[in-house]
Structure 1
Amino acid sequence: MRRGRTARVLGSRTVWTGVGDGEFFCPGCGGDRNYQRLTGRRRFTLLGVPVLPRGETGPVVECAACQRHFGTDVLDHPTTTRFSAMLRDAVHTVALAVLAAGGTHARHTLETAVTGVRAAGFDDCTEDQLAALVEALAADTGRLFGPPCGPGLAIELHEALDPLAPHLAAPGRESILLQGARIALADGPYTPAERDVLTTVGAALTICGDDVTRLLAAARTPS
């Protein structure tokens, strides 16, 4: 009886203070939610009254909807809105890189590229727009001038794909590579420049070399 009475008399309490807010993907709710970043101070309580400090705790992230607390590493994951934009930009960049390597003279190549880019979220993309962008990129000697998939183009691909790769499962990463492969194959076999670009895409997506070779070969086989 005495121990139970002591447990009710003594306790601890954490007082939280907001130090920031924003939007995040809440793993508890399964969607984008507002959050508040909190730090806390713990205190012993006597009869429910805070008395002695026990130190600091946190920081934590509190979901405004479900009120659950998460570690701050949850903010490393993009919101669904941000993830969609990253995926859209990645597909667009890969399409431009493959077109820049293989050329835009074949209409079927442009049609294949437009289909993939539209499916990724650029609903208003047209063949003329892609052709104009490729021409502009080719004129930008600081980025695309030089050997197949030179340093400038490789940087473009890594900037678009590196942040996305950790958030994609293997099938998702492979899908982006295969989309690029279909564009390259639309007008015939891979050229050395196209294969070099696709190898760079695979590396940026953290797909191992053997799997890149397998996927590029599979893309050549009619389904």
Structure 2
Amino acid sequence: MRSARNSRGGKVGVCGIRTSWNTVGDGEFFCEECGGDRNYRRRTGRRRFAVLGVPVLPRGCTGPVVECAACHTHFGTEVLDHPTTSRFSAMLRDAVHTVALAVLAAGGTGSREVLDRAVSAVRSAGFAECTAVQLVDLVEALEADTGRFMPEVNPEGALLAIELHEALEPLTPHLAPSGRESILLQAARIALADGAYSPAEREVLGTVGNALALAPDEVVRLLASARTVS
């Protein structure tokens, strides 16, 4: 860019490329620069060659970009694939709840120790008002719903494969390996609260591990380690 001095001795641009931005949408996203949830504007731009600050020749379009309303940093639109903090918390809460129900449906709800372990896991995930009665009622409702429980496919316990994959697969890319392992270990400890794994519990836990993108040998290792971790 060439420049010239103005009457006060400063420099002003003579020519260069200027971008005129147009907002085409907005919302909330997780801003990596701010480190938290922020409002954003989705923007497209028109680039023009300018002389003395006056646009004269078009130079094409740019964007779309995502602009943080707080720090004004521009990001590619793929940043919107990352859930907000509040959305991530809700996804994790729902995933743990679904996993706990699947394990209970597979192993039964007759053990107080199992119910207490499941209630503790669900409460820790965000359902602070969860009770054992609520979980038992939900398991009974699932058992009565043959379209979800599918006893004709697996009469020994709950498959719930569709629900598990729907709850876990969107969450998995946003979890560190330790986070994915933690969900499986938590489920395993619910199953182990009343003794060794039943075949139905192992099947459900294997489905959980698969939905969390854990390798089969890693699932086996974690299920074994859950026996020795309180």
**Fold agreement, TM-score > 0.5:** yes
Cα deviation for residue 221 of structure 1 reads: 1.6
* 1:26-175 superposed matches below 5 A: 26-146=31-151, 147=154, 153-175=160-182
Over 4 Å off, 4+ runs: 148-151
Q: Give the SS at the match of 2:228.
A: coil
Alignment deviations for residues 33-77 of structure 1 (CA, whole Å, 9 cap, x no partner): 000000000000011110000000000000010011100000000
Cα deviation for residue 145 of structure 1 reads: 2.5
Corresponding position of 2:8: none
Residues of 1 paired with 2:157 and 2:64: CA distance?
44
Structure 1, 179-188 or 138-147: larger mean CA deviation: 138-147
Corresponding position of 1:190: 197
Contact 2:25 2:43 survives alignment (8 Å)? yes
Contact 2:106 2:158 survives alignment (8 Å)? no
Residues of 1 paired with 2:27 and 2:132: CA distance?
38
Cα deviation for residue 222 of structure 1 reads: 4.3
Residues of 2 paired with 1:203 and 1:149: CA distance?
18
Alignment deviations for residues 142-193 of structure 1 (CA, whole Å, 9 cap, x no partner): 1102205676x10000000000000000000000000100000001000000
Residues 75 and 222 of structure 1: is their aligned pair in 2 closer, same or farther, counting only changes over 3 Å? closer
Cα deviation for residue 8 of structure 1 reads: 3.8
Alignment deviations for residues 3-49 of structure 1 (CA, whole Å, 9 cap, x no partner): 666x9422010000000000000011000000000000000001111
Residues of 2 paired with 1:222 and 1:77: CA distance?
32
Residues of 1 paired with 2:227 and 2:198: CA distance?
13
Residues 113 and 18 of structure 1: is their aligned pair in 2 closer, same or farther, counting only changes over 3 Å? same
Residues of 2 paired with 1:204 and 1:177: CA distance?
10
CA RMSD of aligned residues (A): 1.6
Percentage of identical aligned residues? 72
TM-score by length of structure 2 reads 0.92
Aligned positions, number: 220
Q: Any stretches of 5+ residues in structure 2 without a counterpart?
A: 5-11
Give the alignment partner of residue 178 of structure 1, picking from 185, 210, 225. 185
TM-score by length of structure 1 reads 0.95
Residues of 1 paired with 2:184 and 2:129: CA distance?
23
Alignment deviations for residues 99-118 of structure 1 (CA, whole Å, 9 cap, x no partner): 00000000110000000000
